[in-house]
Amino acid sequence: MAEIHIPTLAPEVLAHVGPVAITNTMVNTWLALVIFAVLGVIITRQASLRPGKLQNGAEYILEQLLGYFDQVTGDPAKTRRFLPLVGSIFFFILLSNWLGLLPGTGSLSYGHSFVLRPANTDLNLTLAMALTSVAASHLFGFITVGFFSHAGKFFQIKGIFRSLTKGPVAIFTAVIEFMVGLIEIVSEAAKVLSLSLRLFGNIFAGEVLISVISALVTALVPTPFMLLELLVGLIQASVFAMLTLVYLTVASEAPHGSEEH
């Protein structure tokens, strides 16, 4: 029976380049980026009016993504505007998850050789992507509806001053709206935690499961679990990307009642 090597929460350090630690999750990330870069160069150089199989496949996937994104945004123009960010997040998460299922890229160690580890089992990476998604939603909000209109969703101070001449009911309502705005700020932080922990937790749990099963039984028994992880990787990439798209869409909409002004 093989030695059971349970992956730790923190990624394993493979080497140091000066003060920078190179971890097994970083290598997985670089590998995914290299694959994307190579595919991008090949597809763009071979693009033609008579597409080959690779271009046909890329165009088909893109059309499917545009269709799904349109269902969320309700506006093809917004879909194309958000596609570079959301599409990049989706494909990166999907590829990095699936790379972790290839031989030699799991969390098992064989002898003294180093192996790679799925990038999304590193909480640093999932947290960074979550911060990028939420920050990008606010940036698009500032650009689309204006700085003060977007900030007014969270800091509703004007309503309090306007209500001073309208009676106690209006003042009470304005105070409630102001408190709701503060709660919305807390919800933005909750978005970051939710996105990062959901992705990290699901992918890390899958790595632990496959590591244990692979060590306890023969090579064929873990196969169903690896197939399940393929599906989990797709689902997690879709959830993260769609939630990012929802945040972008909501943030780029004008606040309720702004039409009156």
Q: Which residues of the chain, if any, have pLDDT below 70?
A: 1-8, 103-115, 158-159, 161-162, 164, 211-223, 225, 254-261
Burial 20-37 (b: 16+ CB within 10 A, else e): eeebbbbbbbebbeeeee
Question: What's the pLDDT score for residue 115?
Answer: 59
Whether 1 maps to a domain, the answer reads no
Evaluate whether 2 touches 214 at the Cβ level (below 8 Å).
yes
Element (H, E) at 15: strand 13-17
Question: What's the pLDDT score for residue 16?
Answer: 79
Whether 3 maps to a domain, the answer reads no
Where does residue 257 fall: left (phi above 0), alpha (psi -120 to 50 degrees), or beta otherwise? left
Whether 161 maps to a domain, the answer reads yes
Whether 153 maps to a domain, the answer reads yes
Going through 90-165 in order, the beta strands assigned E by DSSP cover none
Evaluate whether 251 touches 141 at the Cβ level (below 8 Å).
yes
Whether 4 maps to a domain, the answer reads no
Domain residues for 206?
A: 13-255
Question: What's the pLDDT score for residue 156?
Answer: 75
Whether 261 maps to a domain, the answer reads no
Question: What's the pLDDT score for residue 172?
Answer: 75
Question: What's the pLDDT score for residue 8?
Answer: 67
Question: What's the pLDDT score for residue 166?
Answer: 74
Total of domains in the chain: 1
- Tell if the pTM clears 0.75, that is, is over it: yes
At 16, is the secondary structure helix, strand, or coil?
strand
Task: Determine phi and psi for 111, rounding to 5 degrees.
Answer: 65, -130
Whether 71 maps to a domain, the answer reads yes
- Extract the tokens encoding 171: 């003042």
